[in-house]
Structure 1
Amino acid sequence: MVYPKHNNNKEKRGIDIVSGIVTNEFDFIWRSQANSDDYGTDGIIEITENQYVLGKSIAVQIKYGESWFNEVKNNCFIVRESSQKHYHYWLDNSLPHIFIITNESDEAYWVSLNEDSVIKTEKGLKIKIPCENEFLKAKKEIGKLAKYDKLNFIKSNSEIIKCLKAHIENDCKVVFTYSTRTDKTYCGDYELFVEDEDSVIVENLDYIVMPKDFTFFDMGKFLMYLFPWADVSIDEEYYEIHEETDPIEKYKQEYGFYDKETGEYYYNHDDVYWNPYRPYEDGLVESYRFLLQPNKLADAILLIEEYMKSEYNDLNFSSTLSKEIKNVTFDF
């Protein structure tokens, strides 16, 4: 009598262990590559923060079974590959790769694949995985290793840049407002919209994605994080009307010295530092209003997107792209 035979797919068991940790413990997104041709990637981890998908990913190669834990030297598990075919695929890949070994006890240990951890041998590759690298405890390290998908960055930002440029050509202003409580560690309230010459909002832009628990101390870096493709400045006309404190008087009180006889503050004019990103409302609640103007990076993004949509063998366009990119300089 013949019965169907159970296929004990060890590779799938290893993937189940890793994907379970990724989704249940890290609250990241797991995208399996198990049904695809195996070139050295079993899955992709997408990083999330406070339920926001950040566009950062990392690739994973998984091995399952007790045999992968047999060789230990200098407090490292030693994994041996019988060929070198994955070496350049892992180390030269646009996505960083990590290597994970798992076993029947649901243990999982990992290492970032780089020139230090992957060593070429006469017969293949040797991978060193520190015995202290428990994957279950690696959420923060995995998040740091993950990289932004550059092509996705171009695609996702090109549309908003086109929109802003079109509005600015029609004499509209692109405005970003931001308010936060100084006693709270959350990202605050924000809006991105387009305003016409009569200060009427003509379009609200649902573009910005920020973590809810985001604390920053440098407004300039914060704006660079949100809008790397824009020059950002305060809305001077709006500040002239709504700014609660004269910036000169505020500077005197913060950095000058107080003369008891005259009852006034004095300061050295040569040492004045004007905060280009100061709030117009300052106190328990800080409120800002900024204007956005697409910069050279915005132009480069649109040019690269145009190239991506073109035929890649269009040598004339490729030459133009090369010349344009060479002329782009960024003062970050």
Structure 2
Amino acid sequence: PRPRPYTATMSKKVKASAVQDRQGIATVQQIVTSDIGWVFREQTTDDFGIDAHLEVVENEPATGRLIAAQIKSGPSYFKKPHDDGWWFPLDPDDLEYWIDHSLPVIVVLCSPGTGTAYWQTVTQKTIVTGKRGGKKLLVPTAQQLGGEARRGLAKVAEGKPYEIRLRQLRLALHWMRLLQDGRRILLEAGEWISKSSGRGDITIVSVDEGNEDRQELGAWIIMVGSRPYDEVLPSLVPWADVILHEETYDDADYEAWEDACVYYDNEGDRNVREGYAEWRREWIGNRTLRPYANAMGEVDSWRLELVLNDLGTSFLAVDRFAEGDRMILTSR
């Protein structure tokens, strides 16, 4: 059969659906950040089938314990009621992806009009097989997303430290592969030095070998208390060595040297109090990692470059092996 032509009515439906989706994500973000007090990190490109990551926060510091969330918004998702909640039909491809995901996954049904949302985990225990063989989830009214859900969601995010670290490595695989393929990965941070919370705005970006074609890969906020950033930032990416982004620091250092050591006399002649090389050695001192700029005495700016280390290279090799189909002799 011939495909139906795309009409203005269809365009309006697509736009309405997109607006509804955005409202749902905004509603859930508000609940997670304000009522639950956790980090909400929207996923826009890297993780198809997942709308956001929820990160557990305890006494301000983020914990690294994450939940992946698929957010469904609008009245159509509340049209299959059950005595205890609502049925959510599971697409086979989505279900396979969620079950195999490196993070625990929840489905969130959101009603932006009322500002409410309800959640359910996607596990073998919660999946129900219908009479015709289709799979579905019961999203219960008892699991409303909000402050009272904090304990239940924290339990979903639990795992042994070994398992949590493996999850984090799997989530960073996309960045490792970009490095392996010749892209450069930069970690940019704005450190709020006037705040005792150790707040920082973190952005991960990718550029080509010539430091062009800038692409943002993710952004979030950290709270690290009094821990120094030259220790904190490398700890966020244990699969990479962290070095100064050469282009940024060369330019910043040269400008700082000009401000400190170059002046012009009454005749307009350029004079230098101290040579750049000597001044820079004193300026850098024994600091391996350092900010390149400060804004109004409030925010230190960092731009660091990531280079795959032994852990990153080895994990890429393990991932290639795990994607294969060779048999393994085990002890069980």
Give the shorter-chain TM-score range: 0.3 to 0.5
* Max Rg structure: 1
With normalisation by structure 1, the TM-score equals 0.44
